[in-house]
Amino acid sequence: MPRDITDEEATRKSRQDEAQGKSPSTQAGEFVREEMHHIREGKHGARSPQQAMAIGLSKARRAGVKLPPPRRGQSTRTHRQQAQGDLARGRNRRRRTSARRSSAVSGALKREAHSAASHASLSRQARRVARRRGSASRHRAAIRAVRTKGHAGLRRAARKAARTRAKRS
């Protein structure tokens, strides 16, 4: 089981990513990863992988990551407003979180299942999102990934691709 990652550690790693000039989504990824660990450890649950990721992104925005809210048409109006509120909260962190609200949210999440962060459900979610993106976009991402693979990684990927092709024919 992965060790517990604290909010402070995720914030530190996120700041490190920012200093290295990495994108806001990469910086936020640290918080999403931390959230998955929390769910797997049993700290709380989530209704779906999307909710688990949304919690992580919300924490990232509140911690000061400059991750813009989703564009119109990408998500619901309430979701966009929530993201804008989280961003504003990240800019000026003066107000304390209401203890009553915090415990209510924790209680609700504790009643949810822990399968949202399972490898199978995350894999399903990733494939679903990839299908929506289209082949050209996936191809560009694959080309970018190849640049960082190295010789051994390329060989491994080529073997995997050959296996996949063999399965399909």
Domain locations in the chain as residue ranges: 7-133, 134-169
Q: What is the pLDDT of residue 6?
A: 66
**Which amino acid belongs to residue 32?**
V
- Which secondary-structure segment (H or E) carries 166? helix 135-168
Confidence of residue 1 (pLDDT cuts 50, 70, 90): very low
Confidence of residue 96 (pLDDT cuts 50, 70, 90): confident
Q: What is the pLDDT of residue 5?
A: 56
Using CA atoms, how far apart are residues 123 and 118, in angstroms rounded to an integer? 8
Q: With a cut of 90, say whether residue 4 has pLDDT above it.
A: no
Whether the predicted model's global pTM rises above the 0.85 cut:
no
